[in-house]
Structure 1
Amino acid sequence: MNALPDPATIQAEVLPRRRKPWLLMAAPALLLAGVGGWLWLGQTGSVSTDNAYVQQDRVSISADVTGRVEQVLVRESQPVQRGQVIIRLADEPFRIALAEAEARLASARLQVAELTTGTTGRRADVDARRDAVRFAAQELDRQQKLVADGFATRARLQAAESALTQAQAALASALADEAGAAARANVALRGTHPLILAAQAARDRAAFDLSRTIIKAPADGIATQTTKVLPGQVMATGIPTMAIMLGANPYVEANFKETDLEPMRPGQTAEIVLDAYPGSPLRGRVESIGAGTGSEFSVLPAQNATGNWVKVVQRVPVRIALVGPPTVPLIAGLSATVTIDTSR
């Protein structure tokens, strides 16, 4: 007769069988948790974005005067130096305008010169008026004596008194005219007469406009977009055409998500990997964090005060300055991946 199995032995054999399905189900979850933890630990202390581009400061070239292009003296991607002539405008209209302005200045000086010659005439008039007053005074004195001796009527005396009064008034008027003429002549001699000043300003403006028909490079750099300026076309005042890329200090503008900004500080180190040169990473540092998101400076800013609002993670431009000279050619607009070390 066979012996019955021990219940304790049966229970010990069943328990491992029950545990195995639970272990199989928990294994993937544990694996995912481990991988996630490893990734989280690996990413702690840094933030990264591939929304980054090489940038260079540029100066747009425009004309100070409207004129027809006569010569374009640079070609695309040509290095230029500050003060180098890059465009010449047709200057004949401006030379004519300068000649007209100089003629008006000469005319104004002649008009003012006449004021100085008028002073001599005023002085002669004053001398004549003084003689008239002297004669009238003598005549009045003579009539007074004749009336006292009974040889003249009182009417003659009154006429002599009236003549003296009129002569004195005429002298006073002549003296005032002489003083005014002298003041005007003094202004003319100093060259501060309004007619001369206005003509000089017009002449200086015409000379300035003529000088601006020669357009020079405002800084050292590389000429770009030169095909926007062709001989024969008219350059309008203040309208940008070609540009000068200032290649001395290239930088990278990285657009980070707003959720990445909290640990970020100016001065932190960064690694820059250009898509064009993935094997030549560059070193950089955070120079500044933008004062506004990209949408704030767009042509048509987003209007969030509507009923159909959808929250979108905003991006903030962060300027990354290069540390040391670049080891590869940096072209404005190249894409890059930027990783910032936020642990320090």
Structure 2
Amino acid sequence: MNRSPLCFSLSSGVPLLAAALLLLGGCSPAQDSASPASVAAAQARPQSQVAVARGKIDVEGGLLDLASPAAGVVQQLLIKEGQSVQKGQVLLRLADDAARADLAVAESEQQLAQTKLKARQERLPALKTTLTRWQAAAKQGAADLQNVDEAAQSLRDAQAEVDIAAAEASVAKHKVEQLRALQQRHELRAPEAATVIRLTAHAGSMLQSGSPVAVLLPQRPLIVRAEVNESFVAAIREGMKAQVAVDGDGGANKFEFPSATVLRVSPVYGPARLQDDTQRGPVRVVESVLVFDQPPVNAKVGQNVRVSFHE
């Protein structure tokens, strides 16, 4: 039987034997079909990385900077740092003695105007009845037209008084609403559920309108704002998966956050705030916003991260 040129005898020497074994390995049946172990290893390989960017953990819309709605002295400070607050909760009250006094006077005037209006309105039914009777009597010849005219004029006068009283009551009502709105400006309320991060006011301090009072962290899902270098912008798209790690952490817990998904990619270039090239000058980047696939543990707003984008 003819032997293959690759099948050498042992007498050919050790060098030839070694070469033959190497070549025969290439002809082994294992080469024709991958082993289950190699298939599993291939499937377990991570997706290819297409770009890396620096970023920061943030919340959509950012932190809430609250300012004093009016000028005045802080009468009550009802929160402290680290406290959770709900939407509409009163955080601070300014001294409003003068505003309260003005409101009390206006409320009294409103009550007086409403009482006057009610009294004027109560006269109308009797005057209408009187006019009807005079009109009926005049038709039967039991009364002259002068009595009818006088009854009609009395009704018109009473109706005019009702209209004036109604206008006065409306003015008084609007005045009370205006003063109540001004009084509400002496209160600062939480615009949404949040956590108090920092306070810059205290009880007894004098504030101007617009003076900073507190910084709140809204209870919204955390996001990542990544600065993608202009060299990698073409490789980034919405829906792409990414891995988020603490920036500069090269230890065993390098990827300590859940995976993330690209929510949107800005259509505008801008200067980098997290990276710079001392040799080439300012770096142009495009902001990419990512959402975590699961709520991250121990992540903090403002934390520097490194984002690895994968196909």
Give the TM-score of the pair, scaled to structure 1: 0.57
Structure-2 residue corresponding to 1:53: 56
Number of residue equivalences? 245
Contact kept in structure 1, 2:246 and 2:304, CA below 8 Å? yes
Structure-2 residue corresponding to 1:271: 243
Structure-2 residue corresponding to 1:244: 216
Alpha-carbon distance between aligned partners in 2 of 1:244 and 1:201, rounded to the nearest angstrom: 34
Structure-2 residue corresponding to 1:323: 293
Contact kept in structure 2, 1:115 and 1:184, CA below 8 Å? no
Alpha-carbon distance between aligned partners in 2 of 1:105 and 1:84, rounded to the nearest angstrom: 29
Following superposition, the deviation at residue 319 of structure 1 comes to: 0.6
Structure 2 matches for 1:179-258, cutoff 5 A? 179-184=155-160, 187=163, 193-226=166-199, 228-237=200-209, 240-258=212-230
Following superposition, the deviation at residue 116 of structure 1 comes to: 4.9
The match for 1:109 among 99, 106, 114 is 114
Report the CA distance shift for 1:101/1:179 in structure 2 as closer, same or farther (over 3 A): same
Alpha-carbon distance between aligned partners in 1 of 2:48 and 2:77, rounded to the nearest angstrom: 55
1:74 aligns with 2:79: yes
Stretches of 4+ aligned residues off by more than 6 angstroms: 117-123, 170-173
Of 236-245 and 179-188, deviating more is 179-188
Report the CA distance shift for 1:81/1:109 in structure 2 as closer, same or farther (over 3 A): closer
Contact kept in structure 1, 2:221 and 2:295, CA below 8 Å? no
Letter in 2 for 1:205: Q
Alpha-carbon distance between aligned partners in 1 of 2:248 and 2:96, rounded to the nearest angstrom: 46
Structure-1 residue corresponding to 2:105: 100
Following superposition, the deviation at residue 320 of structure 1 comes to: 1.3
Following superposition, the deviation at residue 247 of structure 1 comes to: 4.5
Structure 2 matches for 1:110-149, cutoff 5 A? 111-112=116-117, 115-116=120-121
Structure-2 residue corresponding to 1:293: 269
Alpha-carbon distance between aligned partners in 2 of 1:293 and 1:248, rounded to the nearest angstrom: 27
Alpha-carbon distance between aligned partners in 2 of 1:83 and 1:110, rounded to the nearest angstrom: 35
Contact kept in structure 1, 2:74 and 2:94, CA below 8 Å? yes
Alpha-carbon distance between aligned partners in 1 of 2:232 and 2:105, rounded to the nearest angstrom: 65
Following superposition, the deviation at residue 212 of structure 1 comes to: 4.9
User: More strand by proportion, 1 or 2?
Assistant: 2
User: More helix by proportion, 1 or 2?
Assistant: 1
Contact kept in structure 2, 1:276 and 1:334, CA below 8 Å? no
Letter in 1 for 2:303: L
Contact kept in structure 2, 1:119 and 1:185, CA below 8 Å? no
Alpha-carbon distance between aligned partners in 2 of 1:96 and 1:115, rounded to the nearest angstrom: 29
Alpha-carbon distance between aligned partners in 2 of 1:81 and 1:113, rounded to the nearest angstrom: 42
Q: Which runs of 5+ in 1 are unaligned?
A: 1-42, 134-166, 296-310
Report the CA distance shift for 1:186/1:276 in structure 2 as closer, same or farther (over 3 A): farther
Report the CA distance shift for 1:175/1:270 in structure 2 as closer, same or farther (over 3 A): same
Alpha-carbon distance between aligned partners in 2 of 1:68 and 1:231, rounded to the nearest angstrom: 8
Contact kept in structure 2, 1:53 and 1:332, CA below 8 Å? yes
Structure-1 residue corresponding to 2:301: 332
Following superposition, the deviation at residue 84 of structure 1 comes to: 4.0
Alpha-carbon distance between aligned partners in 1 of 2:241 and 2:93, rounded to the nearest angstrom: 46
Report the CA distance shift for 1:340/1:211 in structure 2 as closer, same or farther (over 3 A): same
Contact kept in structure 1, 2:124 and 2:159, CA below 8 Å? no
Report the CA distance shift for 1:45/1:334 in structure 2 as closer, same or farther (over 3 A): closer
Letter in 1 for 2:302: G
Report the CA distance shift for 1:236/1:171 in structure 2 as closer, same or farther (over 3 A): farther
Letter in 2 for 1:180: R
Following superposition, the deviation at residue 240 of structure 1 comes to: 4.7
Alpha-carbon distance between aligned partners in 2 of 1:247 and 1:117, rounded to the nearest angstrom: 56
Following superposition, the deviation at residue 267 of structure 1 comes to: 1.3
Q: Deviations over 1:96-143 (max 9, x none)?
A: 1211111221343355457458869989x999x99xx9xxxxxxxxxx
Q: Which has the larger radius of gyration?
A: 1
Alpha-carbon distance between aligned partners in 2 of 1:202 and 1:121, rounded to the nearest angstrom: 33
Alpha-carbon distance between aligned partners in 2 of 1:72 and 1:277, rounded to the nearest angstrom: 41
Superposition RMSD on alpha carbons, in Å? 4.0
